[in-house]
Chain A
Amino acid sequence: SAVISQKPSRDICQRGTSLTIQCQVDSQVTMMFWYRQQPGQSLTLIATANQGSEATYESGFVIDKFPISRPNLTFSTLTVSNMSPEDSSIYLCSVEGTGGYEQYFGPGTRLTVT
């Protein structure tokens, strides 16, 4: 299994600002995923990030609002831009295991927008 860390673990931000969340993996992985989990809800996939290519966004999510970088095989960032209170959520990154079947998740970043 992969060990995944995220920074920051939590943050409180003001409306209109941006926050960049970092995801670091202890091994090289091809596929990385970013999810959002709104309060009391399940997980929703934001985008899939392959190293060396543009991220693929799911319906309802756009690059201007959630730009993603994937500079190498162990690291990715997600930026939440021009935040509003509706962006208050837990943001999770995950990676695909070597078998291609399972995904391993980071601990999440708890974001509160005031």
Chain B
Amino acid sequence: DAKTTQPPSMDCAEGRAANLPCNHSTISGNEYVYWYRQIHSQGPQYIIHGLKNNETNEMASLIITEDRKSSTLILPHATLRDTAVYYCIVRVGRKLIWGLGTSLAVNP
């Protein structure tokens, strides 16, 4: 069973920040939060992961709350090519437990 809940869909204006929320209230202390995205008809693409601290890479930033029950993925300047389904995932051991994801539409 999925350990994450996300809104089914979101919209964002091109050039603005996209903030995608995720709840993972049952996460255990040693389980990582991962984010992937899947552009239509392609395989999922790794974005970022974190345990407790906030993380940033060239694609996005990950903000994890202090109690680790929720997190937010931030795409700082969304483009049309960021239109995709974004999955917030809890890693249990070496397994990724996938939820239903958020379909993000970036509009011109």
Contact = CB atoms under 8 A, between A and B. Distances in A.
Max count, chain A CB within 10 A of own CB: residue among B42, B46, B87, B99: B46
Contacts of B81: none
A45 B95 CA distance: 8
Interface in B52-80: none
A108 B95 CA distance: 19
A67 interface: no
A104 B98 contact: no
Contacts of B99: 42
B96 interface: yes
Interface of B: 2, 32, 34, 41-46, 49, 87, 94-96, 98-101
A23 B47 CA distance: 22
A90 B88 CA distance: 20
B96 A105 contact: no
Contacts of B34: 102
A19 B17 CA distance: 43
